[in-house]
Amino acid sequence: MTIDHELIIVGGGPAGLTAGLYAARAKLDVVLLEKGATGGQVLNTDWVDNYPGFPDGLSGFDLADKMTAQAKRFELEIKQTPIIGMDLKHDIKTLHLEEGGTLTCKTLILATGARPNHIDIPGEAEFAARGVSYCATCDAPFYRGRTVAVIGGGNTAIQEAGHLTKFADKVYVIHRRDELRATKILQEKVFANNKIEFIWDTIPTAITGDNTGVTGIELKNVKTDTASKLAVEGVFVLIGIQPNNEMIPLDQLETENGFIITDKEMLTSVPGVFAAGDLISKNFRQIANAVGEATTACLSAEHYLAHLK
């Protein structure tokens, strides 16, 4: 059987680009496949303040551009080729391309990332990265001394609400029910925090703002149908994330809620298949740890290839 590449990397976000950088620098026969522009979710980030090496911060676009340029300096081949399926059952992995045909490889790194769930209301898309955020850990410092709203009632939303109080003066938690889904220990912490106020039985209906960004949020009580408005300068939509796994044969891998399970060397349950970044099952999703995971994944893939020869 003809083998097209030693290594194929699927996904062009920070994890994929880092794996590609390491693989190309090691002179592996590698190609990175990305369905759109490289950068992933970073492209939707207005400003990145917590990535090492940039003391003044930089825009998400600039960080993605620099990562891409660095990988290309080592002649990483990047193809804009959507994938519609994979077969990972055999020693040689096969990827099925949307344009037709297949690509085969000895090793594979999955770095397709994840996407936040949206509430799909007016203003959400318009003010994304201009007051609407999906990561308090990433963006909380930008809201020092301000008033913000958190949408959600699960563990992530409640943990992030607590984190926001380190910076914001006031945090409203808006939840569609009259009780939280978060664990009791997390609930106890936020209920004791005098910076947090809960708005129960309520859903957001619109996010409002102007050329400076978000200025407020419109609400509706689901029990009384009463409409109201709340002045806030930031809205954190924290209602979960979805892995970008549509092209991945989940029945061939060990997963948890659609996220790929790996060991500490980033190996999946299938020999020769590694994963890194937001696609994997883990607690924290930051650019910095995605880059570290991708480094490990590539070095592990290189070690795997060396032992095949």
pLDDT at 292 over 70: yes
Are both 13 and 109 inside the same structural domain? yes
For residue 219, the domain's CATH number is 3.50.50.60
Does residue 1 surpass a pLDDT of 80?
A: no
The answer on 220 and 172 residing in a single domain is yes
Domain hosting 52: range is 5-115+241-306
- Name the residue type at position 4: D
Neighbours of 130 (CB within 10 A): 14
299 and 229 assigned to the same domain: no
Pair (183, 229) in one structural domain: yes
Neighbours of 115 (CB within 10 A): 15
Same domain, 87 and 146: no
Q: Is the pLDDT confidence value at 41 over 90?
A: no
162 and 28 belong to one structural domain = no
Domain edge (last residue) among 237, 259, 279: 237
Q: Which of 87, 120, 138, 263 is catalytic?
A: 138
Q: What is the pLDDT of residue 14?
A: 97
* C-beta of residue 139 within 8 angstroms of C-beta of residue 149: no
Task: For residues 249 and 103, state if they share a domain.
Answer: yes
pLDDT in the model for residue 2 = 78
Residues 103 and 144 in one domain: no
CA distance 21 to 167: 36
Averaged pLDDT of the chain: 95
Check if the beta carbon of residue 113 is closer than 8 Å to that of residue 275: no
Q: Within 10 A of 290 (CB to CB), how many other CB atoms are there?
A: 29
User: Does 284 share its domain with 221?
Assistant: no
Report, as an integer, the average pLDDT of 26-42.
94
Amino acid at 59: S
> Which residue of the set 56, 65, 139, 169 is catalytic?
139
Does 105 qualify as catalytic in the annotation? no
- Contact present, 157 and 141 (Cβ < 8 Å): no
pLDDT tens digit string along 230-275?
A: 999 999 999 999 999 999 999 999 999 999 999 999 999 999 999 9
- Provide the edge-to-edge strand list for the sheet that holds 170-174: 132-133, 234-237, 147-151, 170-174, 196-199
Instruction: Measure Cα distances from 145 to 23, 47, 95, 151, 152 in Å.
Output: 44, 18, 50, 19, 22
**Catalytic, out of 4, 49, 120, 135:** 135
Question: Please, which pLDDT band fits residue 309 given cuts at 50, 70 and 90?
Answer: low
Q: Is 198 found in the same domain as 158?
A: yes
User: What pLDDT is recorded for position 284?
Assistant: 87
pLDDT of residue 45: 82
Secondary structure class of 33 (helix, strand, coil): strand
Q: Measured over all CA atoms, what is the biggest interatomic distance in the chain, rounded to whole angstroms? A: 69
Sheet containing 227-231, strands listed edge to edge, beginning at the edge strand earlier in sequence: 202-210, 213-221, 227-231
Statement to judge: residues 141 and 172 lie in one domain: yes
Whether 46 is a known active-site residue: answer no
Q: Per-residue pLDDT tens for 194-238?
A: 999 999 999 999 999 999 999 999 999 999 999 999 999 999 999
pTM recorded for the entire structure: 0.86
pLDDT in tens, 106-159: 999 999 999 999 999 999 999 998 999 999 988 999 999 999 999 999 998 999
Is residue 138 annotated as part of the catalytic site, yes or no?
yes
Same domain for 125 and 90: no
The last residue of a domain, from among 177, 203, 237: 237
Q: Which of 237, 258, 280 is the last residue of a domain?
A: 237
Tally of structural domains, the chain = 2
